[in-house]
């Protein structure tokens, strides 16, 4: 090992620059080396703190990323649910329209049935129409059931114009006549009324 040193190798900051084996080497004072070492120790603690802060920041970024992924999944689910909800809302609208039609039809049929039952009670059981004109369907049904339970018999049909009845009242007039003749007689009897 060869060391070459010259007087010009002394620098203003107190360091010495010499050549060892053809390579320049700089020697500094031990006090300067201690100061640099102390500053380096401070920098190492700063680097350690920065690395800790970076790890914390990365952890927060990862947490935020996970939250973002959850939010995206929730948004996609909401959009899917909204589409299904719109489909269900349309179906509910269709069913409501259909139900309104059924209610209208049901109301018409109930009105017809009520009038028919009222007519049966007034014609067959000879109930005064004024007494039952305000009766609802349920009232008319109870009235008919009461009449049936009490043994009331509906009046016989008046096909021959003689008030019906039991036995042979007017049966002799009908015997031996053709169905066409019977129909003609019935038509004529109703035309006279």
Angle of helix 137-149 relative to helix 30-124, nearest 10 degrees, comes to 50
Q: How confident is the model at residue 167 (pLDDT cuts 50, 70, 90)?
A: very low
Number of Cβ atoms within 10 Å of the Cβ of 38? 10
Of 68, 79, 133, 137, nearest to 108 by C-alpha is 137
Give tens-digit pLDDT for 8-61: 666 777 677 777 788 888 777 777 777 777 777 778 888 888 999 999 999 999
**Is the whole-model pTM more than 0.85?**
no
Q: Where are the beta strands (DSSP E) in the chain?
A: 3-4, 16-20, 23-27
Residue 125's φ and ψ, nearest 5 degrees, are -100, 0
What is the per-residue pLDDT for 17?
78
* β-sheet bridge partners, residue 18: 25
Strand order in the sheet with 3-4: 3-4, 16-20, 23-27
Q: What is the mean pLDDT of the chain?
A: 82
- Does the pLDDT of residue 132 top 50, yes or no? yes
pLDDT > 70: percent of the chain: 83
């Amino acid at each position: 090992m060869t060391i070459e040193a010259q007087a010009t190798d002394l620098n203003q900051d107190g360091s010495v620059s010499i050549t060892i084996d053809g390579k320049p080497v700089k020697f500094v004072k031990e006090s300067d080396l201690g100061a640099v070492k102390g500053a380096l120790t401070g920098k190492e603690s700063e680097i350690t703190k920065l690395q800790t802060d970076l790890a914390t920041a990365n952890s927060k970024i990862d947490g935020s990323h996970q939250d973002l992924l959850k939010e995206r999944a929730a948004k996609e689910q909401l959009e899917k649910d909204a589409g299904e909800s719109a489909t269900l809302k349309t179906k509910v609208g269709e069913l409501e329209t259909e139900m309104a039609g059924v209610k209208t039809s049901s109301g018409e049929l109930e009105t017809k049935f009520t009038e028919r039952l009222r007519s049966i009670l007034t014609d067959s059981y000879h109930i005064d129409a004024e007494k039952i004109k305000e009766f609802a369907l349920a009232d008319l049904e109870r009235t008919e059931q009461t009449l049936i339970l009490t043994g009331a018999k509906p009046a016989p049909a008046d096909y021959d114009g003689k008030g019906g009845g039991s036995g042979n009242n007017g049966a002799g007039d009908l015997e031996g006549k053709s169905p066409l003749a019977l129909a003609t007689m019935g038509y004529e009897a109703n035309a006279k009324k």
